[in-house]
Amino acid sequence: MSRQLIAGNWKMNGSLAANDTLVRAVAAGLAGARCDVAVCVPSPYLAQVQGLLSGNSLALGAQDVSLHEQGAYTGEVSAAMLKEFGVRYAIVGHSERRQYHGETDAAVADKAKAALAHGITPIVCVGETLADREAGRTADVVKRQMAAVIHTNGHCISEIVVAYEPVWAIGTGRTATPEQAQEVHALLRTQLHAATQHVERIRILYGGSMNAANAAALLAQPDIDGGLIGGASLKPADFLQIVAAAR
């Protein structure tokens, strides 16, 4: 396995002043980090944060990418546009996009393909709702979501990052136990192993309310290769504590 990845998802938060303070504080605390670190910022701030990241080890990420190359798609941002701002990662299929914007498994797969075509690593999110988990459908849901991405991107599936984000644990303060998270990560690893001979290249992150208090226990699991961090990524001390827990 390659180095773990800790990626902050700022969601729809930030301002020019707040971003400057946050990025400078995180960058200053990265000395000796044993993992890769990225921040996924709102599109209007890509240029600002690109400038702030110059000369340090933080990577820039976007929170979404269009499945279209160009054209009459008002409000959309293409992978080619993101690439011009030095974007290394793009989150695709976050549960909030699936829930609030009706993104289908097929659309998520196409977004991953669009990112890969421009040398951007998609962070592909999969995860089940509370109703799915209580009905015993967790494995079926995450395998279906992952299968769509494998089907569309099978020839380069080893180039993606996966984030398991149980929907019931996002922004709720609830978190899957390390054992629950590890079980799903191992399931995804097995599914990906069947699709590529290079499964060791694929990092599978945990994305359900990882924070400074629970990061060490989650990141110690054998199939958890990092974290997709929401609220804690807006707090430099908490985010850096998670980074410090990574191996």
What CATH number is given to the structural domain containing 159? 3.20.20.70
Bind-site residues for substrate: 9-11, 171, 209, 230-231
What's the pLDDT score for residue 214? 95
Residue ranges, the chain, pLDDT below 50: none
What's the pLDDT score for residue 67? 97
The catalytically annotated residue of 128, 159, 165, 185 is: 165
Bind-site residues: 9-11, 171, 209, 230-231
Alpha carbon distances (Å) from 183 to 86, 142, 144: 35, 12, 16
Q: Is 198 a catalytic residue?
A: no
The catalytically annotated residue of 84, 94, 128, 183 is: 94
The tally of domains found in the chain comes to 1
- Domain of 166 in residue numbering reads as 5-245
Q: Is 94 a catalytic residue?
A: yes
